[in-house]
Amino acid sequence: MFEYSEIPTEQAASRIADIESGFPALAQWLNHLVDKGVWQDKGSDALLIKHRPDVAKFAFEATLFPPMRAGDIERLLEHAEIRVPPSLMSLYRRFNGGFFGGVSIYGLLSELSRTHRNPLDLAMSGIWRSGYAPCDEALVLFASQNVSWKGQVGYFVATDGSVIGRGNEEHGAPAEAGRWPSLDYWFADTLPE
């Protein structure tokens, strides 16, 4: 199914360094994990950090997809039919979505594949948003997190860069699930210890 190979931590550190200037809380969390092992997905070039065989055979604590290229960003803006705020574009210039300790950050899906990993598709966020408590249509759903068996929180970013959490109002996922002034504050508060 998935193929991946171990890589030196220095190689991962250089990719994480690109994140640090815009999202220091995420970079700090990732740097804390790299000494637990780093692999690279052969099909997507995603970084796979801290193998979690206790969860599943192919599970990792963090998955970080390579940054979007200029053509990818143009394609996203053209086809997603959403207005991506500058703070989120800054994130995508550093990485194209990922999975971080149970939080899924959506990215641009280049292809469906069973042989390599892909981020959840940001272009589908307009459809997925209906599963959460209603919020301003101008907000962009960019991430989600399961908080219980049925409870899920969606994270929306505003044009000013602030983040709003909206739950599906199931077990542990209230309609109002938090507010943060920026993506970095959101990372600092949301990532596991």
> pLDDT digit string (tens) for 96-148?
999 999 999 999 876 666 667 889 888 888 888 899 999 998 899 999 999 99
| pLDDT: which is higher, 128 or 183 | 183
Dist CA 85 CA 82 (whole Å): 9
pLDDT of 112? 66
Identify residue 140 by its one-letter amino acid code: V
Q: What is the reported pLDDT for 27?
A: 96
CATH class in words for 4-190: alpha beta
What is the distance between the terminal CA atoms of the chain, rounded to a whole angstrom?
Answer: 31
Domain chopping of the chain, boundaries: 4-190
Three-state secondary structure string covering 126-188: HHHHHHCCCCCCCCEEEEEEECCCCCEEEEEECCCCCEEEEECCCCCCCCEEEEECCHHHHHH
Say which residues have a Cβ less than 8 Å from residue 102's Cβ, sequence separation at least 6.
Answer: 145, 146, 192
Average pLDDT, integer, range 135-163: 94
Q: How far apart are CA 183 and CA 181, in angstroms?
A: 7
pLDDT at 111: 66
Average pLDDT in the chain: 90
Q: Can you give the pLDDT at residue 114?
A: 65
17-26, 54-63, 107-116, range with the lowest pLDDT: 107-116
pTM for the full predicted model: 0.92
Share of the chain above pLDDT 70, in %: 94
Confidence band for 182, pLDDT divided at 50, 70 and 90: very high
Q: What is the pLDDT of residue 125?
A: 85
Average pLDDT over residues 73-89: 77
**Average pLDDT rounded to a whole number, residues 71-78:** 74
